[in-house]
Amino acid sequence: DSGVTQTPKHLITATGQRVTLRCSPRSGDLSVYWYQQSLDQGLQFLIHYYNGEERAKGNILERFSAQQFPDLHSELNLSSLELGDSALYFCASSVWGTNTDTQYFGPGTRLTVL
Amino acid sequence: GESVGLHLPTLSVQEGDNSIINCAYSNSASDYFIWYKQESGKGPQFIIDIRSNMDKRQGQRVTVLLNKTVKHLSLQIAATQPGDSAVYFCAERRSQGNLIFGKGTKLSVKP
């Protein structure tokens, strides 16, 4: 158990819908990262937040957004869902978000878009 | 282009043997690398990391080797056990802190 929690574990929805994925980092960690894992693209970095502020963006679609709240939990919002958005979504947390930090991953949310 | 990739998609070893998983990277400016293990239905689990100023680092039953000349990274697992069966990813840390992952190697351990 990494100490990072994600809810829900599974999510099934229809195209065009909007969903919210939730992540709680390890106690004391200030940084949260979101990654998408699909069969064809592998593990891809989406976005990084540090202490409530966006730090870096990766391959995140405009239909996707995220935020980190004062209690440091983070939410990833996916809208206008398409079949291709079906994937595993992981969040990871680290203490500072620097090169020397180890990122610990949560168990993931499996999103299925029908 | 910038990428981190693996030489072999699958590896099958006998229980008790040593396993070697390879990884090639293309960004010569990369200075920090990590190996993760992902079991079915779980998130990636940190195994070991290495900085570019090192060429070898050892953990419990695992060793990571870094060859900067050929931009190659390997993970050695000693006395492989059934519990080691998983997909192994190498990852490169970017300056913003995010990870760039390779495609993964599936390790199967035969009893």
What is the per-residue pLDDT for B8? 47
What rounded mean pLDDT belongs to chain A?
94
Q: Could you read off the pLDDT of B6-30 as tens digits, one per residue?
A: 444 899 999 999 999 999 987 888 8
**A80 conformational bin, left if phi > 0, alpha if psi -120 to 50, beta if neither:** left
Alpha-helical segments (H) within chain B: none
What percent of chain A has a predicted confidence (pLDDT) above 70? 97
SS3 B82: helix
| Residue B96 in this model has a pLDDT that exceeds 90 | no
**pLDDT at residue B7 in the model:** 45
- The verdict on B37 touching A (C-beta cutoff 8 Å) is no
Q: How does A38-60 read in b/e, with b if 16+ C-beta sit within 10 Å?
A: eeeebbbbbbbbbeeeebbebeb
Give the gap in angstroms from C-alpha B93 to the nearest C-alpha of chain A.
Answer: 7
Question: Three-class SS of residue B84?
Answer: helix
Measured between CA atoms, how close is A76 to chain B, in angstroms?
A: 16
Query: Identity (one letter) of the amino acid at A46?
Result: L
Q: What local confidence, expressed as pLDDT, does residue A99 receive?
A: 66
A19-54: pLDDT as tens digits: 999 999 999 999 999 999 987 778 999 999 999 999
DSSP A93-113: EESS-STTPPPEE---EEEEE
- Identify all chain A residues contacting B50, using CB atoms and an 8 Å cutoff: none
Within 68-107 of B, beta carbons closer than 8 Å to A belong to: 89, 91, 93-104
Contacts A92 to B, Cβ<8 Å: 43-44, 99
Nearest to A41 by CA among B88, B41, B103, B20: B103
| pLDDT over threshold 80, residue B1 | no
Render pLDDT for B76-85 as a digit per residue (tens, 0 to 9): 999 999 999 9
Confidence of residue B4 (pLDDT cuts 50, 70, 90): low
Residues B4 and B103: beta-carbon distance below 8 Å: no
Could you give the CA distance from residue B74 to residue B102 in angstroms, rounded to a whole number? 12
C-alpha distance from A105 to closest chain B C-alpha (Å)? 6
DSSP, collapsed to helix, strand or coil, labels residue A72 as coil
Per-residue confidence band for A12, with pLDDT thresholds at 50, 70 and 90 = very high
Give percent helix, percent strand, percent coil of chain B, each to the nearest 5.
5, 55, 40
The span from the CA of A70 to the CA of A68, in Å, is: 7
Region B46-70 average pLDDT = 95
CB atoms within 10 A of CB B79: 11
State the Cα–Cα distance between residues B67 and B33, nearest whole angstrom: 12
Q: What is the pLDDT of residue A49?
A: 95
pLDDT tops 70 at residue A66: yes
- Confidence grade of residue B94 (pLDDT, cut at 50, 70, 90): confident
pLDDT digit string (tens) for B42-55?
999 999 999 999 99
Q: Which helix (H) or strand (E) holds B33?
A: strand B32-38
User: What pLDDT shows up at residue A60?
Assistant: 93
